[in-house]
Amino acid sequence: MPSIIEKVSEAEAQAVSLRKEAGRQVREMDAAARQAALSRLEAAQEAGRALVAQAAAKAEEEGKHIAQEICEKEAAQSDARCQAARQALPQAVAYILERVKA
């Protein structure tokens, strides 16, 4: 029959073994958690980059649309001014000829 000292020594040895095993498991869990966190971080960064690219493309499209609207508006105003100038041309010519004759 084992003595109390032998049982205590055996229990201490088991405790050391359990402590080592627990430490190993903790290190493995820590490494796995760190790797999972890095993977999630990389995925989040990639998703963020995709969202930024998508927003930039949308903004560029909106900018093109706004620029097109401005160009169309300015062209219409320019056409209206040209038409007004054409309509005023005979009066301007008559005025100039009247001044030249005088």
Per-residue exposure over 30-46, b if at least 16 CB sit within 10 Å of its own CB, e if not: eeeeeeeeeeeeeeeee
Tally of domains within the chain: 1
Domain-located, residue 61: yes
What pLDDT digit, counting tens, does each position of 52-82 carry?
Answer: 999 999 999 999 999 999 999 999 999 999 9
Domain-located, residue 84: no
The pTM of the full predicted model, rounded to 2 decimals, is 0.56
Domain-located, residue 41: yes
pLDDT above 90 (res 101): no
Domain-located, residue 91: no
Domain-located, residue 46: yes
Q: 55: domain range?
A: 1-76
Domain-located, residue 90: no
